[in-house]
Amino acid sequence: MSEKDYYFTIDASGSAEVKDRGSKFIAYAYPVKTVDEFKLRLNEIKKEHPKATHHCFAYRIGLDGNHFRVSDDGEPSGTAGRPILGQIDSKQLVNTTVIVVRYFGGTLLGVPGLIQAYKSAASLVLQTVPLVQKIVELEYRIQFDYTMINEIMLVIKQFQIRVISQELQLFCSIHAGISKNKIEQALYKLQNLQNVEVKKME
C-alpha cells in the first residue's frame, strides 16, 4: 500500500492539562472533517472557559493536508498555534484539531516558555487519544435495477465497500465509499454488470 492509500487521524476526543509557573494550559483534541465542525468545537470550549486568557488552536483538515489554520489568540506571534500544529504534524494527522486554553498565572513565561508550554499541552493531549489509520475512500453513486441487487451486494461484500446511504426501490441507488487501493477491480466488476451505472461523486 502506498502512503496515499491511507491516512492517520483520531476518532475520539481527549483533554490534558499542563501547568507552568502558575499558568494553566488545558488542551483538547477533536476529530473534525470540516471548518464548521471545528468552529462548533471552538465555541463549545469558549463557553466552557469564558474566563480563560487565551483560546489558541491549530487544525489540519482534508486528506491532502493542504487545509490548515493556526491561531495565537493574543499570545506573541508564533508561540501557540505553530507549536500546536507542529504536534499534529509530527504524528502525520489530518482531520484533527487541538485547542489549548490558557489561564494566566501572573508570571510571564517569555517566548521560549510559551512555545514549550503549548507544545507540551498539545503533545500530551494527542497521547490520550487513539491514533487510527484509515483507508482513503473515493465516493461513488451506484444506480441499478432492483433485479441486480444480489450481484451488487456480492461486489460490495467482496471489496468491503462502505455503504454510506442507500435507496432500494424498483430502481436502486447506493452512495458508496470504495477504498482507493481496490477501486480498479471494484469498478471493473460493477461496470461489467448489466443495467448498472457507476458515477464518481464530486
Angle at CA of residue 185, ends 181 and 191, nearest 5°: 130
Q: What's the grid cell of residue 148?
A: 441486480
CB atoms within 10 A of CB 83: 24
CA atoms within 13 A on the CB side of 28: 18
Query: Per-residue pLDDT tens for 14-73?
Result: 999 999 999 999 999 999 999 999 999 999 999 999 999 999 999 999 988 789 999 999
- SS3 label, residue 153: helix
The alpha carbon of 122 is separated from its chain's Cα centroid by a whole number of angstroms, namely 16
Q: pTM of the full predicted structure?
A: 0.80
* Contact criterion met (CB below 8 Å) for 62 and 41: no
Burial environment of residue 48 by CB neighbours within 10 A (0 to 12, 13 to 18, 19 or more): exposed
Helix (H) / strand (E) containing 59: strand 54-61
Q: What's the grid cell of residue 112?
A: 521560549
CB atoms within 10 A of CB 110: 11
Q: What's the grid cell of residue 128?
A: 490520550
61 vs 88: CA distance, rounded Å? 11
172 vs 41: CA distance, rounded Å? 37
Query: Per-residue pLDDT tens for 97-113?
Result: 999 999 999 899 999 99
65 vs 47: CA distance, rounded Å? 29
Closest CA to 109 of 136, 75, 151: 75
- SS3 label, residue 171: strand
- Average of per-residue pLDDT values in the chain: 95
Residue-range domains of the chain with CATH: 3-133 (3.30.230.30), 136-200 (3.30.70.240)
Please tell me the chain's helix, strand, coil percentages from 3-state DSSP, rounded to the nearest 5. Answer: 35, 40, 25
Q: Which residue has the cell 493556526?
A: 70
Is residue 3 very low, low, confident or very high in pLDDT (cuts 50, 70, 90)? low
Query: Per-residue pLDDT tens for 111-130?
Result: 999 999 999 999 999 999 99
